[in-house]
Structure 1
């Protein structure tokens, strides 16, 4: 359902009464969980109307911008992966092998041969009804990787002889809903599987028991860098937690000036983004309160607190925007202000570069992501292998791509002189011998296999945002026929950037012809943009694609000859 791009049609913050209705629906649909865990009282609730690639309309409900539930045709609320990672037992699970996950990400449903039986006999596939929501996890990780609906009842699955579709997948790790808010995306938390009990097989039609969930002090919505309370905890957890607590305490020291500047920046950027993305669609005249609630708040990178700005009130902020010429406000009656016109040609609006995802959400101009994404096989450094990998600057719990492990082992063997030149066998040193429990020599492939067998197998959705070990992006100027100056940009594709989307943004933002140039005797392609567009390219790469400035060369060639001073 969400593997292909969808088009958001509208986004609006939920009112208090609408939020209460949503809570009541969730309590009816999932009586065995505490709704407060998923929707804290002070959380910002947003509903987004979307049109899927297949033309189906749906509704997505977000908590603090993170998608937590989506709605099916009949009004059924389906939890997303972020919900399943927060409250694991909200749905029953089917387990599949880790090798099946890449096939699911390519759009396949979960077939019955890929399902690991839950029991024996009629209990082999539990006791579930056709169309029931089912979460899917892996044999080596009990965290959910997808959610779908049963294609047939458990009894029918047992009687069909191990053939056919088991689960019609609706939402999967790595799809567009998972990456709906790029700044909050999470990888699959690593949770070891546990043995099944009779409680995993309730009688057909039986009412699920309400489970009391202990109170938690930590927020339920976490970013990718935070860990889950139920995940494997490394030995240095207490030290890192103490450091994190100290850092948080320091960050909360009273600094009114800094808070005001931060909140004002968020507010101003949200205001400009609202004009940039929705200016032509605003139903003028529009109440100032509705403009702020429906358009400015939904564009904000973080939650806005007007009281922490120097404006203190919305009317003061809008009065300044009127003075600066962005909008015209008219007071229709006492206390009722309406925006009657907006200046979309204002230089600050024209030059403001919005987040491309938000732009697509309102204009529907593009339905493709900015970066190429791929599902990578990873091995997690376990407690057993930590002694070996810490010598190579890898931490316990860190993920290492499959292709990189052999390179790491080869470098270790070469550095320590463990390879016998004549026999081509590796003689284990003290560290390897302790890891394997013997001193027997073996080939490099055997050593790699033994190491990976003692590591946790996992998957990670990767994009071009990782800049480690990549060539620098080079910007240069050249002259073409007719003494016309052009800007040349190299190595963009190394960062996973989709060139067709990048070209589209260059044509729209710089209003300049952009083409791909094939260089002789080179594998990579080069972009050619008409005119001196060095400044625009640098801003596009750093603000929209979040490429670190240190990874870009050639900024000194900009028209003003000065490097960009970032605020």
Structure 2
């Protein structure tokens, strides 16, 4: 449901009465869980209306910016992964093998052959109805990795003979809803598995009793996200009136109001320009000024803006200034009803704003991510294997990619152990004997023994990790008519999304930008018209946070203006 990007339609902070209604709905949907635990009384709750990639309208409820529940057709509330991680007992679980997770992230539903039976006979799939919400966890971790609805009742699943769909996946680890707020992303917590009892299979229709769960231990895996990736705008109120009401409610609860920056007018202006930049070509003109502000401007604001606290006091005063500066043209349809009838997308300040936002602004909203994300399979260094890996500068609890483990073992064996050149059998040294005993075997067998004593996990990664990657090479070349072009190689190794980088170069450098492949080069190159060495260097180091030591060719940049003779 959320594997592909969804489009926000509106967002609004819930009033106190609306939060109470939502809390009552949660009590009805999950009677075995305290509503105060799911939705604290003083939490900042935001209602986000979205349109999924498939055209389905839905509502997401965010608590302190983090998505915690979403609605299905008919109004059924579904907890997100963040809710299941904080309150594991809210849903029953179906367990699958860890190797199934990559298939789920590719859009597959959980098929019956992939379900690990939790009992025998009619109890092997519990006692649940068709459409029951369930969490999906792994054999090596009780923490949920996905949420879905049962495609059939438990009895029907038993009668299917091990074929067909078991759970229709609605939301899972790594999708767009999980990454709704990049600054608050969490990895899958590690919850140890335990033996199953009859309490795990309540009678059909019975109220599920809360189960005592150990405090989740978060995996020590740092999410590889760019430190300065622009984060989405804070969820603002629909209009200034509701914003003022929300502020009064905060005062009634003796909570400090959000700090107002010294340049509130500048923030409003930037939100206005961002709305034109991101939606100017898609605006359904003529458009009511109130709708333009509510649907477009507030969604681009870095934080909630109260018009009454600006020097404009009213939206009409602010838009009148924008009309005077030539950004928009407003016409009064009837008394008190104003509509925007045209927009100047070629306004010099708007063009300059596009450059500034993409290269320097770290607080604005980003429509698209800067880096490719991928699900990486890891092995975690455990207490048993720590004596081996700590000698190789790996810490206890550190995640190591699957391919890297075999490389580490091969290098260690080549330095500290003997290999029979004929049989390729490894003769373990003292350290390897602690892990493998006196058993001898091939390199693959030794590696398998070591990995069997490690925790198996997954990590959602992007392109920030630069270890072992080739340096980005910038160079100059001449094309037809003695025109200089800038060539940049090895960018794809850093997980950078090339389409977004090309867009930034076209807007920031105001130069033609393409992807080329030269006959003597194995990989593709980025080609930018003119000498754009310094611009590319600044873009990579400031926006993408690539370390300067990973970039070569800065000496070819222009020194500045030419000296007059």
TM-score, normalising length from structure 1? 0.76
Deviations 1:499-521, CA, capped at 9 Å, x for gaps: 23332343344443221111223
2:29 pairs with 1:34 = no
Q: Contact 1:12/1:298 (CA < 8 Å) preserved in 2?
A: no
What is the correspondence of 1:359-370 to structure 2 with a 5 Å cutoff?
A: 361=367, 369-370=369-370
Which residue number corresponds to residue 90 of structure 2?
Answer: 90
Partners of 1:541 and 1:528 lie apart in 2 by 15
Residue 177 of structure 1: aligned partner: 177
Unpaired segments ≥5 residues, structure 2: 221-257, 326-337
Secondary structure at the counterpart of residue 189 of structure 2: coil
**SS of the residue aligned with 2:383?**
coil
> How many Å apart are 1:385 and its aligned residue?
0.4
Given that 1:49 and 1:57 are in contact with CA atoms closer than 8 Å, whether structure 2 keeps it comes out as yes
1:333-373 CA-partner distances (Å, limit 9, x unpaired): xxxxx999999843763433258997675xxxx7xx54333
Partner of 1:195, secondary structure, is coil
Whether 2:480 is the aligned partner of 1:481: answer yes
- Secondary structure, counterpart of 2:357 in structure 1: coil
- Aligned twin of 1:246: none
Q: Residue 523 and residue 124 in structure 1: after superposition, are their counterparts in 2 closer, same or farther (change >3 A)? A: same
Equivalence for 2:451? 452
2:209 counterpart of 1:198? no
Secondary structure in 1 matching 2:135: strand
Residue 544 of structure 2 is matched in structure 1 by 545
Q: Do the aligned partners of 2:189 and 2:216 also contact (CA within 8 Å) in 1?
A: no
> Aligned equivalents of 2:493 and 2:114: distance in 1?
35
Q: 1:263, 1:304 within 8 Å by CA — same for their partners in 2?
A: no
Deviates most, 425-434 or 132-141: 425-434
Asked whether the equivalents of residues 188 and 219 of structure 2 are also in contact (C-alpha less than 8 Å), the reply is no
Structure 2: distance between partners of 1:469 and 1:135:
37
Specify which of 309, 316, 323 is matched with residue 314 of structure 1. 309
Match for residue 353 of structure 2 among 342, 349, 352: 349
**Counterpart Cα distance in 2 of 1:232 and 1:359:** 28
Q: Is the 8 A contact 2:45 2:64 kept in 1?
A: yes
Deviation at 1:35, TM superposition (A): 3.8
Asked if the contact 2:381/2:396 (under 8 Å) is kept, the reply is yes
Q: Call closer, same or farther: CA 1:195–1:420 in 2, change over 3 Å.
A: same
Task: Give the alignment partner of residue 230 of structure 1, picking from 202, 216, 220.
Answer: 216
Cα distance in 2 for partners of 1:20, 1:549 equals 52
1:482 match: secondary structure: coil
| Paired residue secondary structure (2:94) | strand
Q: Residues 1-26 of structure 1, C-alpha deviation per residue, up to 9 Å, x if partnerless?
A: 11223223333333333333322222
Question: Structure 1 residues 71 and 231 mapped into 2: Cα distance closer, same or farther (>3 Å)?
Answer: same
Distance of aligned partners of 1:212 and 1:383 in 2 relative to their CA distance in 1, 3 Å threshold:
closer
Q: What does residue range 20-99 of structure 1 map to in structure 2 within 5 Å?
A: 20-99=20-99
State how far apart, in whole Å, the 1-side matches of 2:192 and 2:8 are: 36
Contact 2:288 2:339 in 1 (8 A): yes
Q: Distance in 1 between matches of 2:152 and 2:489?
A: 52
1:121 and 2:101 are equivalent in the alignment: no
Q: 1:233 to 1:442 in 2, by over 3 A?
A: same
Between 1:72-81 and 1:41-50, the stretch displaced more is: 41-50
- Describe the superposition over 1:128-158 as per-residue Cα deviations: whole angstroms up to 9, x where unpaired: 1111111101111111111111001111111
Q: Where does residue 163 of structure 2 map in the other structure?
A: 163
- C-alpha separation between the residues in 1 aligned to 2:263 and 2:495? 30
Alpha-carbon contact 1:13-1:298 (below 8 Å) kept: no
- Contact 1:326 1:343 survives alignment (8 Å): no
CA contact (8 A) 1:328 1:339 kept: no
Structure 1: 5+ residue runs without aligned partners? 214-227, 235-259, 307-312, 330-337, 563-567
Spell out, residue by residue over 1:252-276, the C-alpha distance to the aligned partner (whole angstroms, 9 max, x if none): xxxxxxxx99966999668625531
Secondary structure of the 1:116 match is coil
User: Contact 1:277–1:358 (CA<8 Å) still a contact in 2?
Assistant: no
After superposing the two structures, state which structure 1 stretch, 106-115 or 541-550, moved more: 541-550
Give SS of 1:389's match.
Answer: helix
Relative to structure 1, the CA distance from residue 376 to residue 44 in structure 2 (aligned partners, 3 Å threshold; closer, same or farther) is: same
For 2:206 and 2:512, the matched residues in 1 are separated by: 65
Q: Name the counterpart of 1:277.
A: 275
Q: TM-score, normalised by structure 2?
A: 0.77
Structure 2: how far apart are the matches of 1:60 and 1:35? Answer: 17
For the 8 Å contact 1:263–1:305, the answer to whether it is kept is no
Q: SS at 1:352's partner residue? A: helix
Q: CA deviation at 1:458?
A: 1.3
1:176 deviates by 2.0
Q: Which moved more, 1:446-455 or 1:98-107?
A: 98-107
2:427 is equivalent to residue 432 of structure 1: no
Shift of 1:78: 1.1
Cα distance 1:278–1:143, how it changes in 2: closer, same or farther (>3 A)?
farther
Specify the alignment match of 1:221 in structure 2.
none
- Superposed CA deviations along residues 77-103 of structure 1, whole A, max 9, x for unmatched, are 111112111111111100011121122
**Cα separation, 2, equivalents of 1:434 and 1:156:** 49
The answer as to whether partners of 2:45 and 2:63 remain within 8 angstroms in 1 is yes
The alpha carbon displacement at 1:474 in A equals 2.6
CA–CA distance in structure 2, aligned partners of residues 377 and 212 of structure 1 = 30
Contact 2:275 2:297 in 1 (8 A): no
Q: Equivalent residue for 1:187?
A: 187
Provide the secondary structure at the position in 2 that maps to 1:46.
Answer: strand
Question: What is aligned with 1:255?
Answer: none
CA contact (8 A) 1:381 1:456 kept: yes
- The equivalences for 1:231-380 within 5 A come to 231=217, 272-273=270-271, 275-277=273-275, 280=280, 299=300, 314-315=309-310, 345=347, 346=349, 349-354=353-358, 361=367, 369-380=369-380
Q: Distance in 1 between matches of 2:139 and 2:114?
A: 11
